[in-house]
Amino acid sequence: MAEQPSKRAISRLSTSKVSSRSTQSSPSSTSSTSPSPLSLDPKISPTRSQIPDWSGSERLLELRLFHHYTLWNSRPEYKMPVAQELWTVMIPSLAFQNPCLMDSLLACTALHLRLKCPQDSALVQASHKYMARAIRLYLETLHDDIHSQNFDALYLTALLIAFHTFISRRFSPESAKADTIPLQWFQPFQGVQALTTTRPDAANGSRMAQILPGWRIPLRACGHHRADCTFNFLLQGLDGDEVDYPIYAFAASNMCSVFNCRQPRFFFRFLGEAPTRLIELLKLQDPRTLVMVGAFFAMMKPIENQLWWLEGASDHEIAEIQSALPPAWLPMLEQAKALIWGNLNLCKTPGVHIHIGLGSKEVLPLRSRFSEEP
């Protein structure tokens, strides 16, 4: 078997390759006009043969995977945020023209279907084969110029690689422990974030910027005084002078700001924007950091009904964190879970929006331009 690219290298290669291109490319190399969301003309050149040599079983497997993807995106209880058109129209349309995106989509779908059919060996092989090829094509593309015409396919491929990384934890219990959360949750999403932070010109001119309004709005602290912060109990025992106090306060304040409105955007940005020191503390199994990340996964649970690939992920990670926590810290995690899962006053504002002002009480609607004609 040929050597497979490692997902562990994704965030490092994403950052280094994208940073390298951004220093070599001039602003004139990027598109100055924003493409229409419905104008699908990506510039990633397919590397597969235009007349693929498929066996009958391989072709049927791909049809089976794509049927599963379409079926789950259409289920009413798994309604996607923003607009279903993003997952049922734009992403498949881009994937038909960009092999790295199609392979990553099929790989993630194979993993999810494997949860339903754990004894199907064809799904095991498919999830590895498609993801290995997706990573190879993705890294090859990073050597070329990144601009607004190919940014969408690259960004979505990186996002699906991140999904695949943590979904795979379900099938490797020996390696899916609390000490691997930094590598298999935070690092992949920081690789996704690297695409937007190192090439903001390409991100701003992409279709993603039009379809997902507010997708690049950074994390925001709640603005409360410590005593008024919903998660101030996570800071119990700290006087504020500790070296790592700002890191703990960052996590508590950002979770407080989305306590009543848990949109998927927050969770991806938290994983992608978490301070390096927080990840270091997590690697060191710092008990307070473990509790805070456990609370983060508890807050993530409701969005499993919006992103079906996350199905069951939060419960699995919370269980691993509980097993790694010293007994003295378990009550704090239980208090966080009870607070989060007991909150029935969740935001009911329809559509994409953000909350602003002290306590995030003001609502600012964000309008998607997906359906607008050029």
- Domain end (from 163, 183, 211): 211
Residue 272 lies in a domain: yes
Residue 52 lies in a domain: no
125 and 230 inside one domain: no
256 and 196 inside one domain: no
Q: What pLDDT was estimated at residue 109?
A: 93
| pLDDT per position as a tens digit, 124-151 | 999 999 999 999 999 988 888 788 888 9
Residue 233 lies in a domain: yes
- Cα distance between residue 120 and residue 128, in whole Å: 13
162 and 92 inside one domain: yes
159 and 249 inside one domain: no
Give the residue with greater pLDDT, 190 vs 307: 190
Mark out the alpha helices in the chain (DSSP H runs). Answer: 10-24, 56-74, 84-85, 91-97, 99-116, 121-142, 151-167, 181, 187-198, 200-204, 207-211, 245-257, 264-273, 276-283, 287-300, 313-324, 330-341
Its domain, for residue 65, covers 7-15+58-174+191-211
Is the pLDDT at 185 greater than 80? The verdict is: yes
Q: pTM of this prediction?
A: 0.74
Residue 181 lies in a domain: no
249 and 206 inside one domain: no
- Taking a C-beta distance cutoff of 8 angstroms, is the pair 185, 179 a contact? no
Residue 43 lies in a domain: no
201 and 252 inside one domain: no
Residue 115 lies in a domain: yes
Is the pLDDT at 227 greater than 50? The verdict is: yes
Q: What pLDDT was estimated at residue 310?
A: 78
Residue 298 lies in a domain: yes
Structural domain tally of the chain? Answer: 2
Is the pLDDT at 155 greater than 80? The verdict is: yes
- Taking a C-beta distance cutoff of 8 angstroms, is the pair 44, 141 a contact? yes
Distances (CA, A) of 332 to 133, 180, 231: 43, 22, 11
129 and 274 inside one domain: no
206 and 242 inside one domain: no
245 and 127 inside one domain: no
Residue 99 lies in a domain: yes
Q: How large is the average pLDDT for residues 312-330? A: 91
